[in-house]
Amino acid sequence: MGLFVGLMLVMILYNLFVYITVQDINYLYYIIYLLFICIAQTSIQGYTFKYIWPECPLLSRYGIFIFAPAATISAIFFINNFLQTAVYLRFIYKTLHLVVVIFVISIVFSLMKFYNIAYNLINIGTFLSTVLTFISGFIIYKKGKDSAKYFIFGWSFLLIGALVYSLKEMGVLPHNYYTSHSIMIGSALETILLSFALADKINTYKKERLEAIQAKEKMLAEKNKSLEAKVAFRTQKLKRTVADLIATQSQLVHAEKMAALGQLTAGIAHEINNPLNYMTQSVTILEEDFTDLKKITKKYDALLHKIPEDEKLFSAIKKHKQSTREIDTVYTDIEDSLRVISEGIEKTANISKGLTTYSRMDSTAYKRVSVEKNLEATIQLLKHEFNAKDILLERDYARPSKKVDCNPGQLNQVFTNLLNNAIYAIKHREKPSEKGCIRIITQVNPNYFVVTIRDNGMGMSAKTLSKIYDPFFTTKDVGEGTGLGLSISYGIIRNHQGSIQVDSTLNKGTSFRISLPISFQKNTQSNEEND
């Protein structure tokens, strides 16, 4: 015991001197570890109570249950820092912290006088920490850290000593001089070798530091030779690049607007032409019917004048009726044609009304409007796309709904972008197993109005999802998209103090969820839009 305590004191003073000199935290952890391991071993043998605190039996009673865990806990902190397990072995780093928790629990049980439980926990924690530490040193040595070889060699003695002592306590090995002092013997040898490991670590650190400084000085010397010329060259290049980007951005924004305008014009032409065709056909039928009606009327007038003079006129009238369409049929055709014309005119009026709602693009005008009406206006303009691609459109609107403070035109632009993307995604599906479908859902929360646009299109990968709001990013073919639609939509929703979220699965579909505050304070007009 005298040799052991003397060795521990020498190593504590030596490492304390080195720590004061180099200020390496590893030495401080190691000093604390040596101090606690020395106190723990002397407490086990009863020397601390006999020579250091003979007037404190309470400390002597609990000392072994406090100093032994404290020694191992300080060793774990030293090991994690020395071997850098947080960098190289994250799992073992976390597991060693779990072992620290086991030791803390053992201290708590000892203070509660559950000595057997506390003692078993200390043995388990010592066994686990020793084995994990040895494995960590071996793995890190394999990764090229030479300082770990002293660590492995030194820790092997402690590992053997701890295993012998634990097996002795478990009754596997007999109680004798060597098994009772196995941890003390292993600790003494391990202490000397770990000091060598620390010294080697400092030498390695100095060498790496010197090499890094030399490499850095060389690199800086080489860079300084061409830095000034590169700065001037890159400044000019950057100016040209910025000018090109500004010009390209303007062109792309213009192209996006023109593409949207083209789609809008095509939609309007398609939707207005259908009712106009109905009206044109009906007008043609009306003209024919009115021609027949004129002929019948003229014939009847001529015959009526001759009735008093010629009794044979009745047979002539009857014959004429048989050869000419019935007047009631003519009237029916006229009524049907008028009804068709009326429906066509009404549909054209609805399209015009939707176009009026859609075209309110004043960027500073915020009004309280019905989001569903804006959605319907956008759907009306894209209706021909749904029909052409054979896409089923489902609506699930909130009841009752609420009006929202927003810019209607900008909101329509967002809906148009999202619906166009959904149509494109459905069109470009690979081997579709079901009919293309777009579902629009609205929900009313206490402070937010939520619009969800969901499709069963081709979906997006995680890599694509991470870039969808980046300006100029697009997965569409050349000429089909500029990559500004979702970027502009994201900006519009942010300007409305709202949020836009996306959930997508490749080859299954995509769902966009827009949350808009019901009350928007900035630039909000108090008047409500009634239509």
Percentage with pLDDT > 70 across the chain = 73
If asked whether residues 291 and 339 sit together in one domain, one would say: yes
Does residue 232 belong to any structural domain of this protein? no
Q: How many CB atoms lie within 10 A of CB 129?
A: 22
Predicted pLDDT of residue 479 = 52
If asked whether residues 296 and 445 sit together in one domain, one would say: no
pLDDT at 460 over 60: yes
pLDDT at 494 over 60: yes
Q: Which of 216-220, 375-379, 445-449 has the lowest mean pLDDT?
A: 216-220
If asked whether residues 185 and 313 sit together in one domain, one would say: no
Name the one residue in this structure whose structure tokens are 């209607």. 408
Does residue 109 belong to any structural domain of this protein? yes
86-108 pLDDT, tens digit per residue, is 888 888 888 888 888 988 998 88
Average pLDDT over residues 223-249: 76
pLDDT at 231 over 90: no
pLDDT at 309 over 80: no
Predicted pLDDT of residue 201 = 64
The β-bridge relationship of strands 366-370 and 524-528 is parallel
If asked whether residues 341 and 397 sit together in one domain, one would say: no
pLDDT at 157 over 80: no
Average pLDDT over residues 513-517: 93
If asked whether residues 347 and 389 sit together in one domain, one would say: no
What contacts 24+ positions apart, CB below 8 Å, involve 114-120?
Answer: 115/65, 118/65, 119/65, 119/169
pLDDT at 150 over 60: yes
If asked whether residues 43 and 176 sit together in one domain, one would say: yes
Average pLDDT over residues 135-148: 78
Last residue of a domain, one of 189, 216, 243: 216
If asked whether residues 10 and 110 sit together in one domain, one would say: yes
pLDDT at 259 over 60: no
If asked whether residues 351 and 390 sit together in one domain, one would say: no
> Of the segments 150-159, 177-186, 206-215, 492-501, which one has the largest average pLDDT value?
492-501
Percentage with pLDDT > 90 across the chain = 9
If asked whether residues 206 and 345 sit together in one domain, one would say: no
Does residue 268 belong to any structural domain of this protein? yes
Spatial separation of the C-alpha atoms in residues 165 and 159, rounded to whole Å:
10
Residues 6+ apart with CB under 8 A from 116: none
pLDDT at 454 over 80: yes
Phi, psi of 366 (to 5 degrees): -105, 130
Q: What domain range is 464 assigned to?
A: 382-528
What domain count does the chain have? 3
CATH code: domain of residue 413: 3.30.565.10
Q: Which residue has the higher pLDDT, 263 or 32?
A: 32
Phi, psi of 58 (to 5 degrees): -65, -45
Global pTM reads: 0.38
If asked whether residues 401 and 260 sit together in one domain, one would say: no
pLDDT at 361 over 50: no
Predicted pLDDT of residue 439 = 94
pLDDT at 354 over 60: no
Confidence at 205, pLDDT banded by 50, 70, 90: low
Spatial separation of the C-alpha atoms in residues 469 and 463, rounded to whole Å:
12
16-48 pLDDT, tens digit per residue, is 887 887 777 877 888 888 888 888 878 877 888
Average pLDDT over residues 309-327: 58
118-137 pLDDT, tens digit per residue, is 888 888 888 788 788 878 88
Last residue of a domain, one of 322, 356, 390: 356
Does residue 237 belong to any structural domain of this protein? no
Confidence at 450, pLDDT banded by 50, 70, 90: very high
pLDDT at 365 over 60: yes
Does residue 236 belong to any structural domain of this protein? no
Does residue 84 belong to any structural domain of this protein? yes
Last residue of a domain, one of 356, 373, 397: 356
Predicted pLDDT of residue 525 = 44
Does residue 450 belong to any structural domain of this protein? yes
Q: Which residue has the higher pLDDT, 515 or 290?
A: 515
Phi, psi of 499 (to 5 degrees): -140, 155
- The tokens for 124 are 């388990």
> Of the segments 148-157, 334-343, 470-479, 511-520, which one has the largest average pLDDT value?
511-520
Average pLDDT over residues 223-233: 78
Spatial separation of the C-alpha atoms in residues 12 and 9, rounded to whole Å:
5
The region, left, alpha or beta by phi > 0 then psi within -120 to 50, assigned to residue 504 is beta
pLDDT at 523 over 50: no
Q: Which of 84-88, 280-284, 439-443 has the lowest mean pLDDT?
A: 280-284
If asked whether residues 262 and 407 sit together in one domain, one would say: no
Residue 49, CA distances (Å) to 6, 60, 366, 515 in order:
18, 6, 83, 71
Spatial separation of the C-alpha atoms in residues 110 and 508, rounded to whole Å:
59
Does residue 377 belong to any structural domain of this protein? no
Mean pLDDT of the chain: 77
Predicted pLDDT of residue 397 = 93
Predicted pLDDT of residue 418 = 92
Confidence at 527, pLDDT banded by 50, 70, 90: very low
Q: At what angle do helices 182-306 and 147-169 cross, to 10 degrees?
A: 100
Q: Which residue has the higher pLDDT, 79 or 104?
A: 104
If asked whether residues 280 and 203 sit together in one domain, one would say: no
Predicted pLDDT of residue 438 = 94
pLDDT at 167 over 90: no
CB 7 within 8 A of CB 53: no
